[in-house]
Structure 1
Amino acid sequence: MAVTQAERAPQQEEHAARRGAGEGERGNGRGALGLPMATALVMGNIVGIGIFLLPAEMAGFGMVSLVAFALVSVGAVALAAVFGRLAARLPAPGGPYAYARAAFGDFTGFWIAWSFWITTWAGIAGIAVAWTGYANHFLGWESTEGRAAIALAGVWVPAMINLLGVRVMGAIQVISTIAKFVPLVLVSVIGLFFIDPANYGPFNATEGSLLTAVSMAGAVLLFVYSGVESASIAAEKVRDPRRNVGRATVIGTLACSAVYLLCLVSMMGVVPSHELADSRAPFALAADTMFGGAFWGSAVALMAVVSGLGAMNGWMMVVAEMPMAAARDGLFPRFLDRVNRRGVPHTGVIAGAVMASLVIIGNFYGAADAFRSIVLLATFTSVVPYFFSACAQLYWLATGARPVSRARLAVDAVLAALALLFSLWMVIGAGAEATFQGMIIMLLGVPIYTVVKARRERERVNVGADAATAEGPIASAVE
């Protein structure tokens, strides 16, 4: 008798919850990420190199970017709260993938895992491209080949760090998060005393409408909020994931929002908008403008280099965790489930680094604006999992799968609706080109799912046939 999706969903949810709880208990061992490390993972992945290039990107939109920032921040906090509630429901590795699969079935789960896998290696590529601007403050390799080589080094060094194990990765993440947050806040606070209102430029610096400018600026801003789901994806590595994933996600997102606002207001007021928009290292430019000379600019550039390495270090963990969760469930190729003796899914790390490297090479030799092209592609592919995660939360709230108070139900429903509408708006903001490219890459995953599913079905049939053959002689003897 066929099992309907409505009947299968609670079973998948229960299985995922049991598996997540068991893995969370195993995570209490030596390799576990406690609340501080989990929060550092979220903050480190959100605040990567993007913040160091963000003022220049936003200067191109004008002061309307602050309106976009306010809207995106509300959406990001709503997403953080939704992920926190979902992680309490399903403390299983994979984050958005686990939620979509439990709520809507295998194919949806696969598609979300595939989409987010694209997001992670495209995001790593975007961070690496932006990172070259600050690394070149010291190296001066301005040729296309030189910049591509720097970006590739920025990908493979964190990949090697991740292969050493979660404890090494986590320790470096905490150190790099502190090393970038303290100077970022310090420079931005000092910058408040150097603000000249004339530097802010026009309200809408684009040639389009106000709505278009806000949507486009919002799509770029969402990239620097990417990582809000990091703790939920790595739930297997987090100690007490039912509590700590949600707490780390919300705390990390709120802290990053405050730092972003401070940095944008400060940097856009220190440097004239036309100079800021043309800069590849806006924080270094702002430091030189405030203090004069080259020392402070070099100090900020060094801070950005450390920050970028920390962000790519965290994303290298994420790029392997979701494919590993999908491979365990038989939805991704099996080789992505392999781990080395330190418990690291090494094939996933290497596969992610290879894909990021291909994107870097393709964009340096193909796109006029490599950073923005990658950012918009990553934005589209990231909001698809966000959208389905919000839908999964609404599905569970509507079906009443878990008892919940009316007050909590109302709050959760509003947050999920905000996250859903926010994700839809970001798809629009990503633009037609990024949406088209993203859909093509996402559709390329369907044949892979077809092959994997066909193999699973053959194995199931063969196991059933072997069992029937083994039982045949016994049944005859009994008769």
Structure 2
Amino acid sequence: MESKKLGFWSIVLLGINGIIGSGIFLLPNKAMAIIGPASLLVMLFDMLLVLAITFCFAEAGGLFKENGGAYIYAKEAFGDFIGYEVGFLSWATRIIAFATMAVGFATALGGIIPALSSDMMKNVIVSVIFLVLAVINLLGIKLYEVIQNVATISKLLPFVLFIGIGIFYIEPVNFTPLFPHGVYTPGSFGTAAVMLFFAFTGFESLGVAAAEMENPQKNLPKATLITIFTVSAIYILLLACAIGIMGYELADTTAPVQAAFTRIAGAFGTTVVAAGTLISIGALCIAASFVTPHCGLALAEQHMLPAFMAERNRFGAPYWCIIISTVVAMLIGYSGGFAFLASISVVSRFSQYIPTCLSIMVFRKKMPDAPRAFKIPFGPVIPVIALIVSLWLLAQAKPQQLMIGFGAAVIALPFYFLMHKKKQA
């Protein structure tokens, strides 16, 4: 039975859904406290960096049809070992992130309905989320595609409403002074850039399920670029509206977008943002439930995980990867996992970005005549800039975060050598 493939606009919605999450509802106040209205310039800087990295993913993605994304690019450019490390870190990080999103949804729901805020109810809600999403994905791409598209469009509505109404309440005076107390604090730009950059993470997920897409070599590069431009426009407009409405008062709020919308729309604004937060986290859970198992599938298809994990059911779903990812994420969800995720996110994300940027130069030498759906302009300039700035951002991480992140790579070593030995036997 031939499985259903994701169409072009479903790929775009998958990308948008995988990037826009609950974080953007909470970022404006933190950015305002660090660097003031200049956070808009920081957001623009991050957008340009993400775009440069996206160009690298778009060119590399147009060369391959296989699942895996950054794992496939690293493997083909630098060999099995580097590819496996990138793939394993990607899968592990997504499992932990999936768990954290589910706990985040339960926590947000408990904040709205106090009766659901106990630890026992949190675990019940987390269990229901994982089980429902596992069933949806086990039933194949067709059902997932419909639910994912509806959820993504629904999560965008609060942003559209806030921006559409808020733009008429912007006060130019709220954008001054540009920096807190009118003075730039050394290092504040880097701190804000690292924080706001993580609002964009998730775009690398698109290539993970390339084999589940219609004509991925043509559609994936275009969908990736459209996704980033769309997300960037939403973020910049949302941040501009929040600052324009609240000014420096934004820094003193705990729920900045909700506070800004409440100021201009009263209880309606509060309700919309509260609902938007749940929809946003819920939609992220849906995207994670699809992408996370496919990270494991990509490794299994390349014989880097046990062969049984590459098996699919009659709906074309990789059922073992879905079951294993769900069970592990559920166990992490019961214990929380927030601190661990925060500690490894910096290194794990850039372990995908940096090899992908480097792979472009390698592919242009190894595969100069291969057809490319998208080719980065200006030769190696953009990949080199993306690489340098990525390393600079990575250097902003705390030593403890780096140690834990690299620790995850060390954990992968015995699994690699075990499978590599079995592969050679």
Give ranges in structure 1 of 5+ residues lacking alignment: 1-25, 365-369, 461-479
The alignment status of 1:387 with 2:358, answered yes or no, reads no
Q: Which amino acid aligns with 1:49?
A: S
What one-letter code is carried by the residue in structure 2 that aligns with 1:89?
A: L
2:395 is equivalent to residue 421 of structure 1: no
Alignment of 1:25-174 (within 5 A): 31-63=4-36, 64-132=38-106, 134-140=108-114, 141-143=116-118, 146-147=121-122, 150=125, 153-174=128-149
Deviation at 1:347, TM superposition (A): 2.4
TM-superposed deviation, 1:404: 8.6
Alignment correspondent of 1:350: 323
Mark the CA change 1:58 to 1:118 in structure 2 (over 3 Å): closer, same or farther. Answer: farther
**1:233-382 alignment runs, 5 A limit:** 233-271=208-246, 273=248, 278-279=253-254, 281-292=255-266, 294-363=267-336, 370=338, 374-375=341-342, 377-382=344-349
Report if aligned partners of 2:32, 2:248 keep a CA contact under 8 Å in 1. yes
The structure with the larger Rg is 1
Which has the larger displacement, 84-93 or 210-219? 210-219
> Does the CA contact (< 8 Å) of 1:219 and 1:376 recur in 2?
no
> Among residues 434, 449, 456, which one is paired with 2:401 in the alignment?
434
* CA distance, structure 2, for counterparts of residue 312 and residue 98 of structure 1: 24
The letter for the 2-side match of 1:285 is A
Instruction: Label 1:409 to 1:124 Cα distance change in 2 as closer, same or farther (>3 A).
Output: closer
The answer (yes or no) to whether the contact 1:96–1:233 under 8 Å persists in 2 is yes
Deviation at 1:335, TM superposition (A): 3.9
Looking at structure 2, the residues matched to 57 and 88 of structure 1 have their Cα atoms a distance apart, in angstroms, of 37
Separation in structure 2 between the aligned mates of residue 381 and residue 107 of structure 1, nearest angstrom: 16
Residues 38 and 231 of structure 1 are in contact (CA less than 8 Å); yes or no, is this contact kept in structure 2? yes
> Is 1:93–1:232's contact at 8 Å kept on the other side of the alignment?
yes
CA distance in 1, matches of 2:75, 2:283: 31
Any conservation in 1 of the 2:100–2:336 contact (CA below 8 Å)? no
Letter in 1 for 2:105: W
Post-superposition offset of 1:282: 3.5
1:304, distance to aligned residue in structure 2 (A): 2.4
Preserved contact between residue 48 and residue 127 of structure 1 (Cα < 8 Å): no
The CA distance in 2 between the partners of 1:204 and 1:341, in whole Å, is 58
d(CA) in 2 for partners of 1:73, 1:250: 12
Q: Matched residue pairs, number?
A: 421
Greater displacement, 389-398 / 248-257 = 389-398
Q: Distance in 2 between matches of 1:229 and 1:299?
A: 29
Q: CA RMSD in A?
A: 3.1
Bigger Cα displacement from structure 2, 103-112 vs 49-58: 49-58
Q: Report the identity percentage.
A: 25
2:40 is paired with a residue whose SS is helix
Question: Does the CA-based 8 Å contact 2:56-2:357 persist in structure 1?
Answer: yes
On the 8 A contact 1:79/1:419 being kept in 2, the answer is yes
Greater alpha carbon shift after TM alignment, 73-82 vs 221-230:
221-230
Q: Residue 98 and residue 431 in structure 1: after superposition, are their counterparts in 2 closer, same or farther (change >3 A)? A: same
For residues 342-371 of structure 1, what are the alpha-carbon distances to aligned partners after superposition, in whole Å with 9 as ceiling and x for unaligned? 21122222333334344444446xxxxx47
Residue 97 of structure 1 and its aligned partner are, at CA, apart by: 0.7
Q: TM-score, normalised by structure 1?
A: 0.79
**Inter-CA distance 350–198: structure 2 relative to 1 (3 Å threshold):** farther
* In the alignment, structure 1 residue 214 sits paired with structure 2 residue 189: yes
Q: Using CA pairs below 8 Å that are at least 6 residues apart, which structure has the higher relative contact order? A: 2
The code of the aligned residue for 2:390 comes to S
The Cα shift of 1:275 comes to: 5.9
| Distance 1:91-1:204 versus aligned 2 partners, 3 A rule | farther
**Counterpart Cα distance in 1 of 2:350 and 2:95:** 15
Mapped partners of 1:234, 1:113: distance in 2: 13
CA–CA separation in structure 2 for the residues paired with 1:248 and 1:50? 23
Post-superposition CA distance 1:22-58 (Å, at most 9, x none): xxxx9xx551111111111111111122322332443
